[in-house]
Every structure is written in C-alpha cells, then in structure tokens.
Chain A
Amino acid sequence: MMFTCPELTFNVDHGYLEGLVRGMKAGLLTQTDYRNLAQCDTLEDIKLHLQSTDYGKLLSSAEQGLSVSLVDSRLRENLAAEFNCLRSNALPQLSTFMDFITYSYMIDNVVLLITGALRQREVSELLPRCHPLGTFDQMSAVGIACTPTELYSTILVDTPLGQFFQDAVSESSLDEMETEILRNKLYKAYLESFHAFCKNIGGATEDIMCPVLEFEADRRAFIITVNSFGTDLTSADRRALYPTCGKLHPEGLQLLAKAEGPDQVKAVADCYPEYKEVFDTPEPGSDYRSLEDRFFEQEVKLNTLAFLQQFHFGVFYSYVKLKEQEIRNIVWIAECITQRQKSKINSYIPIFM
C-alpha cells in the first residue's frame, strides 16, 4: 500500500508498463481517421486506411474472404496480444488488477461453455469462439462434466472465478438457473469484488477506478430494469442482480426493483444528477441516440479522464475499454459499408481526447 508519496515508488515497479500503455493509447484512432473510414466504399478501402494507422499490416494477410467478422476477430486478437504483452511483464498488485480486468471476459466464456456442455456440444467447437482475453487453463477440461453443478465442483472451483460462484450456488442449484441469470449474478459478484480491491489499493487508483466501476454498476442496474419489463423476471429476481457497489445503492436500487415502467425508471434517474442527462429525452431534430449509446458515451468520457492523472492502474483498465469501443466502432463502420446503409454510419461513439 502506498500511502506516502506514491508517485515516488510507483515508477519502480510499474513505470515501464504505464509508459507503454500511454504510448499505445496515443495510437487510438482520431477524428480524421474515423472520417476517412466512414468515407470508404468497400472493405478493401478500410483495410487500406487501417494500414496507415497503428494497426499496420494486421489485415493485409487476409487476401481472400475479407469479411466483417474477420476484421472483428483480428482486431480482438490484436487487443488480446497487446494486453498479454503488458500482463506478462506486470508485477503483483498490477498483475492482480489486470487479472480482474480479464475476469469479465472469463465470465462470458464460462457461461458459453456451460451452455455448450449442457447441450452436449463438442468443447473443441466452442473454444475458438471464446473471447481471447478470457482464457483460463481449465477451459479444455470443461467437456468432461455433464451438469453445471458437476462442472462447478470439479473445475470452476479452482479457477479465479470460483469465488464469484459462491453467491450464485448458495441460493439455488446451478442446474435450474437460466444462463443469463447466472451470467448476471457472476458479473455482480465480480464488480463488487473488483470495487473492493480498488478501494483497498487506495490513492489515485481508487479515485479513478471507483467512479468508473460505480458507473458500470449503476448502468447495469438501469439496463437490467429497463430490459426486464415484459419478461418473466420478477422484481425480487431483478433485485438480486443489481450490483451494490454503485451510487444507486441502497435507495436507488430499492426504487428500481419496484419500478414497473420506463417512466418510473426515469423518475429514479432524475434523483441523481449524473444519470439525469442520460435519461433525458432528446430535443426533436437531433439524432436518436438509444439508451445504450448514451451509456457508452458516458463510459468513454469517464475512461478518458483516467489518462489525466499519473501513477495509477486506472490507465490499463481505461485503455482496454477504449480499445474495445474502438473495435466496436470500426466493426460498425465496416458493417454499414458492406450493407450499404451509410445513413447511420456516424452513429459510432467518438473517442477523442
């Protein structure tokens, strides 16, 4: 724990990596890059444009069959490679922090593998479809279990995710749980644990990361509420999925659990100045931005703030998130171009600092 002058000791262990990350962040696409990409007419043009950015020759080996999904997977692999390069050089505290970042992808992979194992699908089919940032050692062994509970007790308990399953397993049997509910429960446990870890580190990391994680928690609470209208999810079930590390806890979450319609959700949001804006109805004439888009924009804003301070771990988290958003943007532009729907091509989330 660095109470006194963290700036002095930080660089000893983590200075090199922070420098690396800042260098990589400088390579994120800029306004002109995005404008150039939006003006392309085919995927080939996009490939050409990307060669002049930091992506370089990434796509040049794909001569035939250049498709949007190929672009997507290549970019994602690139991000995973960068991340692993940073991770392999990280020392403790930073290494734990970076592991925490990978857990969210691991959760997605684990849920995917569980569903696949339930339906007796071949594990070798599922492995290539897992997110590269979320790999863990026991992944290929998943195929031997037949039910989720067995899977949990034999394999998952040993993975870093084992701790997150505690909450889920104790309440009801894993077998009957719907995969989505399981996913959200795991994520809730993960967020709360990550938040506690950052608070533990203290200092600048806490100042940067905690607001970001709180925002993530509240955003999940809002979106789960809005999406559960009209489905079978009861409000008690819903309540169990809200992460408690956000600003909404506890009063906001209670109100949200009771909400029955989008208006009530908006009423809850109005009590919190940061979220009031997100739920505001846009003036007529401006583009329609969906709720998701507005949350994305907020997230990007919070993440860019991380780079204004030095000597903390937040830059790594923000870099991963911003890079992810960039991949999403590029894939969106590519899809618009291939489907010839250029009208909405500018609906990507701008990441400019």
Chain B
Amino acid sequence: IPHCLVNTIMKARLKGAQTGRNLLKKKADALSMRFRQILRKIIETKTKMGEVMREAAFSLAEAKFAAGDFSTTIIQNVNKAQVKVRAKKDNVAGVTLPVFEHYQEGGDSYELTGLARGGEQLSRLKRNYARAVELLVELASLQTSFVTLDEAIKITNRRVNAIEHVIIPRIDRTLTYIITELDEREREEFYRLKKIQEKKKQLRARTELEIAERLAKLGPIAEPVNMLTEEADEDLLFE
C-alpha cells in the first residue's frame, strides 16, 4: 500500500536487514576461524594417537612376555569404570560446543597385579594405555565440536546469503515501488489542482460576464433613495 507511513516503515526494515546481515557475517567469520583451529588440532592429535597406540600395543606385548597371560585375570576383576568422562559446554560466538573431559574415580584396583612377575612392565603398560585414553577423549571432543561447528557455519552462511540475495532486494524493490507511486500521486494531485484552478477561473469569468449583461439590460436604474443624504423625512410627525 503506497503510503508515507509505509515508506518510513520500509526504510526501517531495510536498515534492520542490513545490520542483521553484517552481524551474521561476523558470526560466520568467528566460527570459521575456530573451525580451522580445531581442524589443525585434530590433525595433530590424530598423528600423536597413532604413535601412542603403537607404543601401548607394544608395551602390552612386553608385559605379556614378562608376566604371562594376565588378560583373563584383569577381565575377571573388572568392577566399575576407573576412568570416566564428563561432558561440559563451551560457547563460541553463540554456538554451544560439547567438551569432554576425563576424570579418575576410585583407586587403582589393579595395583597388585603382576606382583610376582612383570610388575614393572605392567605399570608401564598401564601408563601407556592411560595416555592413550586421554588422547582418545580429547579427540572425541575435538571431533564433536568439529561436526557441530560445521553445521553451525553452514546454517549461518545460508542465512547471510538469504538476507543478502533475497530479503534486501525484495525490500529494495518494495521501497522503489512505493516511492514511484508516491511521486505519481503527487503529480496527479498537482495536475488535478491545476485543472480545478483553471475551471474555477473560467467559471468566475463567465459569472461576471452574466452579471454585467443583466445590469446593462435593466437600463438606467433608479437608484434607491439614499437615506443618509435625505434632508427631511416624511414619516417624522413632530419635529
């Protein structure tokens, strides 16, 4: 509806859309930066992981050499988990990322395993695998944040593009339409007023002509008596 009021409203909306787009672009940039950081860390951790796992598997072989087959004793003794994982939330530019951290619960229930044989190798084995578990937990948090961030970045970019290529042009077009309509209407008003003035002038000119004609037709008109110039008034009885 082409209105002045609507015009102002539209201008405000355009402004809003532009600010929104800029903010979203900034958010997308921050997320991308964090994304690249995480990617680098993932590559690092994965290579370290390969090394650590290899070492841990080898220390298992060493321990088996010295202590015999202790796998069944360990499996039978399993009770509760000694290393547990907690999930925390981290916030990056408005996106909540899950972060996992591990914590130890309870003492080491396998302290005395290998007491008589292979204790040294077993403790080395425990250390190696503990390190492997730490790395695994870290890797898990990195990968989940990677996936979440990826989605968040896609959504934000989609929104930025939508605003830029769809919303703003639409508002632009509406605005131009309104302005053109308003201009047209002004011009119409103006034209109409002009026309009315002309007509009025013509009408006035015609009526004057008619009056002049009628006056001339009546001839010399006795002028009515002018009361003010009269000297004597007939109606006055007593003077």
Please report A residues at the B interface, Cβ cutoff 8 Å: 72, 108, 111-112, 115-116, 119, 121, 126, 129, 131, 178-181, 183-184, 187, 220, 223-224, 226-228, 231-233, 241, 290-293, 296, 328, 331-332, 335-336, 339, 341, 344
Q: Is the CB of A180 within 8 A of B113?
A: yes
Q: Is the CB of B112 within 8 A of A231?
A: yes
Provide the residues of chain B in CB contact with A335, threshold 8 Å. 58, 61, 64
Q: Is the CB of B76 within 8 A of A181?
A: no
B60 to chain A, nearest CB (A): 8
Among listed B15-23, B117-125, B166-174, B189-197, interface-contacting one: B117-125
- B228 in the interface, Cβ–Cβ < 8 Å? no
Q: A339-B54, A341-B58 are contacts. A181–B116 as well, Cβ < 8 Å?
A: no
Q: Is the CB of B76 within 8 A of A332?
A: no
A178 to chain B, nearest CB (A): 6
Q: A220-B116, A224-B116 are contacts. A179–B121 as well, Cβ < 8 Å?
A: no
Provide the residues of chain A in CB contact with B61, threshold 8 Å. 332, 335-336, 339
Q: Is the CB of A115 within 8 A of B58?
A: no
User: Which residues of B113-160 are within 8 A (CB) of A?
Assistant: 113-121
A228 vs B119: C-alpha distance when bound (angstroms): 9
CB-nearest residue of chain B relative to A349? B65
A290 contacts which of B76, B77, B115, B120 (Cβ < 8 Å)?
B120
Q: Is the CB of B73 within 8 A of A179?
A: yes
Please report B residues at the A interface, Cβ cutoff 8 Å: 54, 57-58, 61-62, 64-66, 68-69, 72-73, 76-79, 111-121
B226 to chain A, nearest CB (A): 140
Q: Is the CB of A226 within 8 A of B120?
A: yes
Q: Is the CB of B112 within 8 A of A178?
A: yes
Q: A290-B121, A341-B58 are contacts. A119–B66 as well, Cβ < 8 Å?
A: no
Q: List 6 A-B contacts (CB under 8 A).
A: A72-B69, A108-B68, A119-B79, A184-B116, A331-B65, A341-B58
Of all A-B residue pairs in the complex, the 10 with the closest CB atoms, nearest first, are A227-B119, A335-B61, A180-B112, A115-B76, A292-B66, A129-B72, A231-B111, A116-B76, A332-B65, A341-B58
Q: Is the CB of A292 within 8 A of B58?
A: no
A183 vs B76: C-alpha distance when bound (angstroms): 15
B12 to chain A, nearest CB (A): 69
A78 to chain B, nearest CB (A): 16
Provide the residues of chain A in CB contact with B111, threshold 8 Å. 231-232
Provide the residues of chain A in CB contact with B57, threshold 8 Å. 339
Provide the residues of chain A in CB contact with B120, threshold 8 Å. 226-227, 290-292
Provide the residues of chain B in CB contact with A108, threshold 8 Å. 68
Q: A231-B112, A331-B64, A339-B57 are contacts. A179–B77 as well, Cβ < 8 Å?
A: yes
Provide the residues of chain B in CB contact with A72, threshold 8 Å. 69
Q: Is the CB of B119 within 8 A of A223?
A: yes
Provide the residues of chain B in CB contact with A241, threshold 8 Å. 115
Q: Is the CB of B121 within 8 A of A292?
A: yes
